[in-house]
Amino acid sequence: MAAGVAAWLPFARAAAIGWMPVANCPMPLAPADKNKRQDELIILNVSGRRFQTWRTTLERYPDTLLGSTEKEFFFNEDTKEYFFDRDPEVFRCVLNFYRTGKLHYPRYECISAYDDELAFYGILPEIIGDCCYEEYKDRKRENAERLMDDNDSENNQESMPSLSFRQTMWRAFENPHTSTLALVFYYVTGFFIAVSVITNVVETVPCGTVPGSKELPCGERYSVAFFCLDTACVMIFTVEYLLRLFAPPSRYRFIRSVMSIIDVVAIMPYYIGLVMTDNEDVSGAFVTLRVFRVFRIFKFSRHSQGLRILGYTLKSCASELGFLLFSLTMAIIIFATVMFYAEKGSSASKFTSIPASFWYTIVTMTTLGYGDMVPKTIAGKIFGSICSLSGVLVIALPVPVIVSNFSRIYHQNQRADKRRAQKKARLARIRVAKTGSSNAYLHSKRNGLLNEALELTGTPEDEHMGKTTSLIESQHHHLLHCLEKTTNHEFIDEQMFEQNCMESSMQNYPSTRSPSLSSHPGLTTTCCSRRSKKTTHLPNSNLPATRLRSMQELSTIHIQGSEQPSLTTSRSSLNLKADDGLRPNCKTSQITTAIISIPTPPALTPEGESRPPPASPGPNTNIPSIASNVVKVSAL
Amino acid sequence: MGAVMGTFSSLQTKQRRPSKDKIEDELEMTIVCHRPEGLEQLEAQTNFTKRELQVLYRGFKNECPSGVVNEETFKQIYAQFFPHGDASTYAHYLFNAFDTTQTGSVKFEDFVTALSILLRGTVHEKLRWTFNLYDINKDGYINKEEMIDIVKAIYDMMGKYTYPVLKEDTPRQHVDVFFQKMDKNKDGIVTLDEFLESCQEDDNIMRSLQLFQNVM
């Protein structure tokens, strides 16, 4: 519950008087205010700067240092004040959190110092208000990256003999500066990539004439030499690829990565060529395959950080570039169509079709103007000039505007995405807080009931159960309890509600079946069947018997209300699964009988006798969860 | 020509003036602030001690720095206490009960007066306040529709996940039970006297009215 709102709890409770005439049942007793102290000022001395506040202000958040009894450790008897040897600047923010309920992050503060202070005072940073949350997260992320970088460089320098051979190899591949061998490997592969690319290029240069034949490209003249070079390069690349294939921790992911695909594409043509040399028909295709050898140049991106960044930039601007391309395409199609129809009339026109006019349009719009296609008609010339003028506008002018615009929109989108993610996170936090408070109520109900059940047997085990809830919390829970009494319905959590829905839809089991359960008198507990109203007689009769047996296990009972619904997923498996859970106590023959379900704790309300006794027959048929919980444990 | 210019200018000034007023209006709305009467006066008017009034005012001012609560804030504050369901309808009726002067905002005096009745008032006063709460249109009578609205608002606060499952006509049934008890002459409406009489006959109600004695 928010801090300031806790101050309005008296008002909410007073307003509850409005329900009283409507309610049919008596209300539960209010929690007693044991220590009704007058509100007093307390002095907090933080490194010499004195802060003063009301005691109740600090008690709004009982699970922090200042709100709990932990601050008594810092109480100075001589000066009658609480002394903290911490930063007073950050303490200002912390104290404002107690006052206003909102935690702010000052921008000038170092993030790790701030985190340390928050940890000291027991405040979770997640509750930083939305106004400062983005800044906080950004700084936190930067800090984390810095720490990671530091760690990485640390790791690189220290030797790690415990790594396996495979792991060392992977590290060597990813980061050539780790060892000399890796560096050598790195440079060797780089050299061979360069050699391979240069070979491909030089192959096609005409190499001077061999006497008696026409001019040949070098590739054909010194074909053996070039072939040897190519073989050497491909062998090196193959070995490298195989080594890279062996090393990574996740081979599947490595195979799918871009670099490995480039590697494969770079060396495949050679092997395909080896296989296919004798077949003349496919030599044309083989020649085409050689084009792919140029992809070896992309292998350089492993060696060049800049190339990688360029590739990443293009990938991230893909949508903007796509839009640019799309608008260009539109303009090209428009102008090509216009030019085609304009030039249709002239004879010997090169504009034979619209696709043929595309070439003209592109050349004109990019202001290249090769001159291989020129319009001859007047209309064609007019439209051609419009085309070239608009080309300047379409391409040259907006590109910087678009680029800067899209960069701005891109960042805005990032921020919008961030804000959306933060909004989701914020709503999730609010939801968690809400369910936390509603769950807190349900938990305290179960705890309270267990406490009362404990008191039935009169053992001083009350220390085990339930944590001490603050006075405000107990008053709030009392208020919710009054609401339950007014409306004669109870709060339950979502899973139980769905179970109930399932049950009520399957209410075909007649109540006549339940007497068959009562035919097993030997059972201390029976499988549960739940009708619309429960009896409260059973627990009192059963509890003492089972309670004595399981006294020591009580402290280990976890209220498994939330676990149990997982047992009951489908109707058909309902009986079986419930049997699994309560096997020692239920006879499996009861599968045919009434609905087995896990009842909710609130059934056990010793004070709730005002609820009319249910119509179900026999006390043996019903069992509240407390007993069933106990039963589960005592089944040992 | 001059006449045309003259009419133009007058038109423009006419248009300009309302917009200036609008700005001033906006300024007024944002800086509306209310200070309560003195502590002694409030102490005389209510059943609280000075200290209690101090604590109350500090909490009030903390949540509403401007000194008045409007309905939205009221609903938000009340909804915080009932995370399971929707408390806005009941908060609306509560707001109308607190806002005795029907101004649309609750000042600290109204707040404290109502709290004084609820926490420190006599049984008679409490019942009268409750009657006023139920009487939505403030005509002095509670009819069935008003009661159904109130009870439905109370049930709304329970939310969806209840045991047993809330059915459509549960509020109506509840109201029927209520009317059976309260409506003595069975004329379909409950007057203040009938209400007071029936409540004073019911021990449960009497006991529960004393429940929040020690809230402050």
Q: What is the pLDDT of residue A409?
A: 59
Contact A25 B215 (CB under 8 A): no
Contact B81 A476 (CB under 8 A): yes
Asked if the bond preceding A206 is cis, omega within 30° of 0, the reply is no
Determine the average pLDDT of the residues in A88-105.
Answer: 91
List, in sequence order, every beta strand (DSSP E) within A166-255. 206-209, 215-217
CA distances from A160 to A147, A156, A173, A569, A588 (A): 20, 9, 16, 50, 59
Q: What is the pLDDT of residue A238?
A: 92
Determine the average pLDDT of the residues in B170-198.
Answer: 86
Cβ-count burial of A487 within 10 angstroms (0-12 exposed, 13-18 middle, 19+ buried)? buried
Contact A397, A421 (CB under 8 A): no
pLDDT tens digits, B42-88: 888 888 888 888 888 887 887 777 888 888 888 888 888 888 888 89
Q: What is the mean pLDDT of chain A?
A: 72
pLDDT tens digits, A164-221: 788 888 887 777 777 888 888 888 888 998 988 888 888 888 877 666 667 777 777 7
Pairing of strands A81-84, A41-46: parallel
Q: What is the mean pLDDT of chain B?
A: 80
pLDDT tens digits, B89-103: 999 999 988 888 888
Angle of the A88-100 helix axis to the A111-121 helix axis, nearest 10: 60
Contact A7 B63 (CB under 8 A): yes
Q: Which residue of B has its CA nearest to A32?
A: B214
pLDDT of B137 over the 60 cut: yes
Contact A489 B215 (CB under 8 A): no
In three-state secondary structure terms, A582 is coil
pLDDT of B153 over the 70 cut: yes
Token digits of residue B153: 């608002």
Greater pLDDT, B68 or A559? B68
Greater pLDDT, A592 or A21? A21
Lowest mean pLDDT among A196-205, A485-494, B197-206: A485-494
pLDDT of A282 over the 50 cut: yes
Token digits of residue A631: 């039963």
In three-state form (DSSP H/G/I as H, E/B as E, the rest C), the secondary structure along A5-51 is HHCCHHHHHHHHHHHHHHCCCCCCCCCCCCCCCCCCEEEEEECCEEE
Q: Within 13 Å and on the Cβ side, how many CA atoms surround B131?
A: 22
Instruction: Tell me the shortest Cα–Cα distance from A437 to chain B, in angstroms.
Output: 7
Using an 8 Å CB-CB cutoff, list chain B residues near A501. 165
Asked if the C-beta of B169 comes within 8 angstroms of chain A's C-beta atoms, the answer is no
**How many Å is the Cα radius of gyration of chain A?**
40
Interface A-B, measured as beta-carbon pairs within 8 A, has a size of 156
Contact B115 A490 (CB under 8 A): no
Q: What is the pLDDT of residue A525?
A: 37
One-letter amino acid identity for A186?
Y
Contact A7 B59 (CB under 8 A): yes
Q: How far is residue B64 CA from its own chain's centroid?
A: 16
Q: How far is residue A53 CA from its own chain's centroid?
A: 40
Question: For a pLDDT cut of 90, what percent of chain B falls above it?
Answer: 1
Confidence of residue B159 (pLDDT cuts 50, 70, 90): confident
Question: For a pLDDT cut of 70, what percent of chain B falls above it?
Answer: 83
Confidence of residue A357 (pLDDT cuts 50, 70, 90): very high
Using an 8 Å CB-CB cutoff, list chain A residues near B77. 5, 8
Using an 8 Å CB-CB cutoff, list chain A residues near B182. 21
Determine the average pLDDT of the residues in A502-519.
Answer: 54
Identify the residue among A1, A9, A22 best suited for mutation to test binding to B, counting B beta carbons within 10 A and taking the highest.
Answer: A22
Q: What is the pTM of this model?
A: 0.48
pLDDT of A365 over the 50 cut: yes
Q: What is the pLDDT of residue A466?
A: 39
List Cβ neighbours of B87 (8 Å cut-off, separation of 6 or more): B75, B78, B79, B81, B156, B157
Ramachandran bin of B146, using left for φ above 0, alpha for ψ from -120 to 50, beta for the remaining angles: alpha
Lowest mean pLDDT among A115-124, A410-419, A490-499: A410-419
pLDDT of A528 over the 80 cut: no
Greater pLDDT, A567 or A126? A126
In three-state secondary structure terms, A273 is helix
Q: What is the pLDDT of residue A152?
A: 66
pLDDT of A361 over the 90 cut: yes
Nearest to A22 among B58, B81, B151 (CB): B151
Lowest mean pLDDT among A52-66, A212-226, A247-261: A212-226
Contact B77 A5 (CB under 8 A): yes
Instruction: Round to whole Å and give the CA distance between A500 and B35.
Output: 52
Q: What is the pLDDT of residue A167?
A: 81
Q: Which residue of B has its CA nearest to A27?
A: B208
List Cβ neighbours of B152 (8 Å cut-off, separation of 6 or more): B89, B171
Using an 8 Å CB-CB cutoff, list chain B residues near A25. 204
Q: How far apart are the first and last CA of chain A?
A: 40
Lowest mean pLDDT among A170-174, A442-446, A486-490, A627-631: A627-631
Token digits of residue B2: 């001059």
DSSP H or E segment with residue A67: none
Instruction: Round to whole Å and give the CA distance between B67 and B54.
Output: 14
pLDDT of A567 over the 80 cut: no
Contact B3, B39 (CB under 8 A): no
pLDDT of A635 over the 50 cut: no
Nearest to B205 among A21, A32, A54 (CB): A21
Instruction: Round to whole Å and give the CA distance between B160 and B82.
Output: 12
Instruction: Round to whole Å and give the CA distance between A5 and A465.
Output: 28
Contact A30 B212 (CB under 8 A): yes
Greater pLDDT, A412 or A377? A377
Q: What is the pLDDT of residue A134?
A: 85
Instruction: Round to whole Å and give the CA distance between A158 and A175.
Output: 14
Token digits of residue A397: 């002018």
What are the φ/ψ torsions at residue B106 (nearest 5 degrees)? -105, 120
Nearest to A519 by CA among A599, A589, A443: A589
Own/partner pairs, B176-183, CB within 8 angstroms, 24+ separation: B177/A24, B178/A21, B178/A22, B178/B147, B178/B151, B179/B144, B179/B147, B182/A21
Question: For a pLDDT cut of 90, what percent of chain A falls above it?
Answer: 12
Instruction: Tell me the shortest Cα–Cα distance from A624 to chain B, in angstroms.
Output: 14
Contact A22 B154 (CB under 8 A): yes
Contact A611, A527 (CB under 8 A): no
Count of other CB atoms within 10 angstroms of residue A571? 12
Nearest to B133 among A13, A18, A54 (CB): A18
Q: Look-up: residue for tokens 């509240």?
A: A624
Greater pLDDT, A256 or A462? A256
Using an 8 Å CB-CB cutoff, list chain A residues near B207. 26-27
Determine the average pLDDT of the residues in A304-323.
Answer: 72
